[in-house]
């Protein structure tokens, strides 16, 4: 049996298994069966980003869920963290987000949250997979008189905005702040400008004209140069670039300097430590977090835990070590006191609040740590064969490690959401970094590309 769930839910090309109507319907039935308790009424909430295939998958999921006697709440286009929030605040038994995050519109994905807004544990995903592949849920449909209903929640955006505003210290004012926002033609295209406007900021929007096929297209967090250029052109104070489902963010200051997830962690962890709100004086990063960030935290007596790449792994380490801040270099940042998953809008508010409270421009927070040269090369692969089973790759990796010695780090891993191998090399010598990365990525490409 093939595995349906990856590191971040289910993902694939729209209208092909597993991102087709047939699988979505079965998934809806299986999920409904796992959360439904005998004699109790159950509800599942469904949100989506702006991909055209979202309509198809939403309808199929709704059909499968209601066929099991479970009601469906439809919130429409909303950021992934808003779906996590709404699931627990509206006391749903589970929440579903239809999105492929930063991927292009041809792809789509399905992320599932439990009633507390956390992504499903592995054992529940395995139970759902078994129900789907064994067709067990199909045989357990509700009687005609017990079929579930579906209804739309019209004020979901307003609920989320109120939640986010309550995460900002009321002493902090955004009045006079001028912000460029790139919504990536995705899920934040409505909520982002409305939120910032209600907080008093002046907002200039780009990437806010979704048509179902332009999500992440040369815009958003993968193309922060758009907000950089517009901030410089308009003389604004900062720029915010989200991805398609707005669970990650990249910022820029008034000079156009980019803040990635590592920069954001440095800013927020330092401020929280000074305020006494950084739980257990520690944070979680990932194996991709820059070595310079780790050394910076050591100098600040902040413990630094590395997890595998993926916000579910970041969250797992946060729970294990009882920490309330963690994140990825890509811009997924989790403020566990406020939300249960990476939240781009919440992250923006946290960073901007720190700057506004201090009265200093955002640029004064750039360069808090000395960044080691780090090179990441993505190599498309036909199949994700374990690297240790490919002799030429093993040989190249050993040679790279010998050449690097103790001067830096090498990370070779597969993407959890795409057919890509990621080669990361980090050291103080940028030329050596390039040489080692090129040689190792070439070996991977020859063997697996």
List the catalytic residues. Answer: 101
Distance from C-alpha of 235 to C-alpha of 230, rounded to nearest angstrom:
8
Cα dist. 321→267, 294, 325, 436, 439 in Å?
21, 17, 11, 34, 37
Cα–chain center distance at 182: 16
Q: Report residue 162 as tokens.
A: 């109120």
Cα dist. 66→11, 22, 62 in Å?
23, 15, 6
Say which residues have a Cβ less than 8 Å from residue 44's Cβ, sequence separation at least 6.
28, 31, 32, 35, 65, 70, 71, 72, 73, 92, 93, 94, 95, 96
Distance from C-alpha of 259 to C-alpha of 331, rounded to nearest angstrom:
9
Q: What is the DSSP string of 116-164?
A: TSPBPPHHHHHHHHHHHHTTTGGGGPPPGGG---EEE-TTHHHHHHHHH
Which candidate, 285, 259, 256, 281, places its Cα nearest to that of 270?
A: 281
Cα dist. 246→5, 78, 186, 406 in Å?
21, 9, 8, 38
Taking residue 310's Cβ as centre, other Cβ atoms within 10 Å add up to: 19
Which candidate, 23, 18, 14, 24, places its Cα nearest to that of 106?
A: 14
The DSSP output letter for 177 is -
> To 10 degrees, what angle do helices 80-89 and 156-165 make?
90
Query: Are the beta carbons of 241 and 221 closer than 8 angstroms?
Result: yes
Which candidate, 184, 194, 39, 5, places its Cα nearest to that of 105?
A: 184
Distance from C-alpha of 208 to C-alpha of 215, rounded to nearest angstrom:
9
């Amino acid at each position: 049996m093939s595995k349906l769930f990856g590191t971040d839910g289910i993902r694939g090309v729209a209208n092909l298994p597993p991102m087709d109507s047939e699988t979505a319907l079965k998934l809806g039935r299986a999920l409904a069966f796992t959360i439904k308790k005998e004699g109790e009424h159950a509800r599942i909430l469904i949100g989506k980003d702006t991909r055209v295939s979202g309509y198809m998958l939403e309808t199929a999921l709704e059909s499968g869920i209601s066929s099991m006697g479970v009601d469906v709440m439809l919130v429409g286009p909303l950021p992934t963290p808003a779906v996590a929030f709404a699931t627990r605040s509206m006391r749903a038994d589970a929440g579903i987000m239809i999105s492929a995050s930063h991927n292009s519109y041809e792809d789509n994905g399905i992320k599932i949250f439990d009633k507390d807004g956390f992504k499903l544990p592995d054992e529940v995903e395995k139970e759902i997979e078994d129900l789907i592949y064994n067709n067990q849920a199909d045989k357990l449909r509700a009687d005609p008189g017990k079929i579930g209903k579906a209804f739309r929640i019209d004020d979901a955006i307003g609920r989320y905005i109120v939640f986010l505003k309550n995460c900002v210290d009321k002493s902090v004012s955004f009045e006079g702040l001028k912000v460029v926002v790139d919504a990536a033609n995705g899920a934040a295209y409505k909520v982002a400008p409305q939120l910032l406007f209600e907080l008093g900021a002046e907002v200039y929007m780009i990437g806010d004209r979704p048509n179902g096929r332009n999500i992440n297209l040369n815009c958003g967090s993968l193309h922060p140069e758009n907000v950089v250029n517009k901030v410089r052109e308009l003389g604004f104070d900062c720029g915010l670039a989200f991805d398609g489902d707005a669970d990650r963010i990249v910022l820029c200051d008034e000079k156009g300097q980019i803040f990635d997830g590592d920069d954001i962690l440095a800013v927020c962890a330092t401020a929280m430590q000074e305020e006494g709100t950084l739980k257990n004086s520690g944070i979680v990063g990932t194996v991709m977090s820059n070595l310079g960030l780790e050394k910076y935290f050591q100098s600040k007596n902040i413990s630094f835990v590395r997890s595998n790449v993926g916000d579910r792994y970041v969250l797992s380490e946060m729970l294990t070590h009882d920490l309330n801040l963690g994140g990825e270099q890509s811009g997924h940042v989790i403020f566990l006191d406020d939300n249960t998953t990476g939240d781009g809008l919440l992250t923006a508010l946290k960073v901007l609040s720190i700057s506004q409270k201090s009265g200093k421009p955002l640029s004064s927070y750039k360069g808090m740590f000395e960044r080691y040269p780090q090179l990441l090369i993505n190599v498309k692969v036909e199949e994700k064969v374990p690297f240790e089973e490919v002799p030429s790759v093993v040989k190249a990796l050993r040679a790279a490690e010998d050449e690097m010695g103790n001067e830096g780090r090498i990370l070779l891993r597969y993407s959890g959401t795409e057919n890509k191998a990621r080669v990361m090399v980090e050291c103080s010598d940028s030329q050596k970094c390039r040489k080692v990365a090129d040689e190792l990525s070439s070996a991977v490409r020859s063997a697996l590309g």
